């Protein structure tokens, strides 16, 4: 079978896990090759995201030890989404299909076979979906579930329990390259590309070693980013909030007039102050949300590069 697979692995400070997961990935790749599901010249591409530890040295060492390992490095740390994008965009002209997967061994590597099978059945995008979160702590599970619910309620359609473990064909990636936004939320953008897609289910494990780079604060930022990148629902909610608050204050005015006519005095300054504070707060929140969108627009119009690759483990012919 001459389908060339590139496995894209973003790595940030992963020196502890890389020696382990690289072996697991290579085993899986060789297994798929021996089953004739992918071609021999398939590759595992590590994307070093400006790590501060020995990650890039390990990747270079791996690439010397086995031809199936290759690597690229970003000029500095840009975050997980940009690292995955850098890998996918580099790979899109070199292979037929890509599978992106985290470096920490949390995602079940054996699900790759099901993904490749789904591609053989005609699917161009295959989403890896976690069927259980039992190994996660209750807190992580709860926050992650709220994350998906919030995203979908806010109009950012993402596949439930799918992170960035997915197969995408080079055809999809070539179309994806036309999505020029700098505010990246890959799992919400891929469904926008379309093409035939499906999901495969797998159990999520615990991190093999090292620490998660996604504490609650980063997860909240990602959720907010996802919503504001994919939907303008928050702005609509503000409009509705404005309409409702106006209606309530209209009723309040009528009440005040009626009370005045009936001779009773409207309650004192404390109620006035309470309403003022409430409205002041609501207005500030609304301004914040609008500001968030303006900030996004500002980042978009600058059109800065989304990734800068400073080094590759292979030599390319000069094209200039």
Site residues for Mg ion per CB under 5 A: 102, 104, 106
CA distance 215 to 286: 27
Strands 197-203 and 125-132, sheet pairing:
parallel
The verdict on 42 binding ligand UDP (CB under 6 A) reads no
Show contacts with ligand UDP in window 100-159 (CB under 6 A).
Answer: 102-104, 106
Strands 97-100 and 162-169, sheet pairing:
antiparallel
From the list Mg ion, ligand UDP, none, pick the one residue 42 interacts with, judged by a Cβ distance below 5 to 8 Å according to partner type.
Answer: none
* Least distance in angstroms from the C-beta of 209 to Mg ion: 11
CA distance 320 to 310: 17
Smaller CB distance to ligand UDP: residue 210 or 234? Answer: 210
| Segment contacting ligand UDP by CB under 6 A, of 5-13, 115-123, 131-139, 149-157 | 5-13
Tokens 């994806």 -> residue: 176
The verdict on 73 binding ligand UDP (CB under 6 A) reads no
From the list Mg ion, ligand UDP, none, pick the one residue 213 interacts with, judged by a Cβ distance below 5 to 8 Å according to partner type.
Answer: ligand UDP
Smaller CB distance to ligand UDP: residue 22 or 106? Answer: 106
CA distance 310 to 123: 34
Candidate list 5, 7, 8, 11; residue touching ligand UDP; CB under 6 A: 11
* Least distance in angstroms from the C-beta of 204 to Mg ion: 9
**Residue whose C-alpha is closest to residue 59's, from 33, 21, 93:** 21
Contact partners, residue 107, CB within 8 Å, separation at least 6: 101, 128, 163, 165, 202, 204, 205
* Least distance in angstroms from the C-beta of 165 to ligand UDP: 10
Structure tokens at 141: 């599970």
Which residue number has the CB closest to Mg ion?
A: 104
Candidate list 6, 7, 29, 79; residue touching ligand UDP; CB under 6 A: 79
CA distance 195 to 266: 63
* Least distance in angstroms from the C-beta of 171 to ligand UDP: 25
Show contacts with ligand UDP in window 181-220 (CB under 6 A).
Answer: 212-214
**Residue whose C-alpha is closest to residue 99's, from 112, 80, 82:** 112
Task: Report the SS3 class of residue 108.
Answer: coil
Residues near ligand UDP (CB under 6 A) are 10-12, 14, 49, 77, 79-80, 83, 102-104, 106, 212-214
């Amino acid at each position: 079978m001459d389908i060339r697979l590139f496995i894209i692995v973003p790595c940030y400070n992963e020196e502890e896990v890389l020696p382990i997961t690289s072996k697991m990935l290579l085993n899986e790749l060789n297994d798929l090759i021996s089953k004739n599901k992918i071609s021999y010249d398939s590759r595992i591409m590590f994307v070093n995201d400006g790590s501060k530890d020995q990650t890039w040295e390990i990747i270079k060492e791996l690439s010397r030890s086995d031809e199936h390992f290759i690597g690229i490095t970003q000029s500095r740390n840009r975050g997980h989404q940009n690292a995955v994008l850098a890998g996918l965009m580099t790979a899109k002209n070199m292979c037929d299909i890509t599978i992106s997967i985290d470096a920490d061994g949390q995602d079940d590597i054996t699900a790759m076979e099901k993904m490749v099978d789904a591609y053989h059945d005609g699917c161009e995008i295959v989403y890896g979906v976690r069927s259980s979160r039992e190994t996660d702590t209750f807190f992580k599970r709860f926050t992650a579930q709220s994350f998906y619910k919030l995203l979908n309620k806010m109009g950012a359609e993402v596949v439930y329990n799918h992170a960035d473990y997915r197969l995408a064909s080079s055809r999809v990636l070539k179309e994806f390259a036309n999505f020029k936004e700098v505010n990246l939320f890959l799992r919400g953008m891929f469904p926008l590309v379309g093409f035939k897609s499906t999901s495969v289910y797998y159990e999520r494990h615990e991190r093999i070693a090292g620490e998660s780079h996604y504490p609650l604060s980063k997860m909240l930022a990602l959720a907010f980013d996802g919503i504001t990148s994919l939907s303008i629902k928050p702005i609509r909610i503000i409009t509705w909030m404005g309409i409702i608050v106006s209606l309530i204050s209209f009723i309040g005015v009528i009440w005040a007039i009626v009370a005045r006519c009936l001779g009773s005095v409207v309650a004192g300054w404390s109620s006035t102050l309470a309403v003022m504070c409430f409205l002041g707060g609501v207005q500030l929140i609304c301004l914040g949300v609008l500001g968030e969108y303006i900030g996004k627009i500002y980042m978009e119009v600058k059109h800065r590069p989304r990734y800068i690759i400073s080094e590759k483990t292979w030599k390319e012919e000069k094209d200039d």
